[in-house]
Amino acid sequence: MSWDDSVVPRVSQDHLDARRRQILDGARTCFARHGYEGATVRRLEDATGLSRGAIFHHFRDKESLFLALAEDDVTRMANVVAERGLVQVMRNLLDGHQGTGDDPAGWLGTRLEVSRRLRTDPDFRARWAERSHRLTEATRQRLRRQRDAGNLRDDVAVEVLADFLELVLEGLVSHLAMGLPADDLGPVLDLVEETVRRHRPTP
């Protein structure tokens, strides 16, 4: 009897997707706790509950795994931006840092490690540049929709407002990375949000 498609067991796409999600979720915790260099294969195995063979069946190496994780987080952030704006992403990062809010994606640890590697690893910076445009484009599209709806100030170009918000985001990440006090940053984000809104004259 020959082996053919009727007898060779197939691994469903749903199973593959679930396994990939399991790896990314465990790796997110591992990278956040130990940093990129400290996330050894053994620690990745412990965090994911899978063998190195299973992990690297889905991802070529640790670098590819980290890039996939960071890109996954950017996609999730872009979805939040599309619905609620980039300031909401900042609030989620702040909540994750304080441990007081709902931050199911656990973005902060990954974002901190991305920022550190952008400063210290030119090769990573080049590879990351190919992937980071998604958040910028989501931010610009959201701002354009808000301007069309009359909710956004119209005296500054959308591209300038997007750059402003992204600079604030990077400043927040740097602030948290340095361990500076963050309990009173909520009103600062309120001010950032108010800055880009259109102010209608009081009747």
Token code pair at residue 64: 């590819």
Domain 12-59: assigned CATH number: 1.10.10.60
Domain 61-196: assigned CATH number: 1.10.357.10
**Contact indicator for 48, 22 with CB cutoff of 8 Å:** yes
In which residue ranges of the chain is pLDDT below 50? 1-9, 100-105
Q: What are phi and psi of 197, to 5 degrees?
A: -80, 155
How many whole angstroms separate alpha carbon 131 and alpha carbon 87?
A: 21
- Of 87, 198, 85, the C-alpha closest to 149 is 198
pLDDT recorded at residue 110: 84
pLDDT recorded at residue 7: 46
pLDDT recorded at residue 104: 45
Domain residue ranges in the chain: 12-59, 61-196
Global pTM?
A: 0.80
pLDDT, tens only, 12-50: 888 888 999 999 999 998 998 888 899 999 999 999 999
From residue 202, alpha-carbon distances to 196, 199 in Å are: 18, 9
- For the chain, helix (H) and strand (E) counts, in that order, are 10, 0
pLDDT recorded at residue 203: 55
How many whole angstroms separate alpha carbon 192 and alpha carbon 119?
A: 25
Token code pair at residue 191: 């001010």
- Of 48, 105, 95, 101, the C-alpha closest to 72 is 105
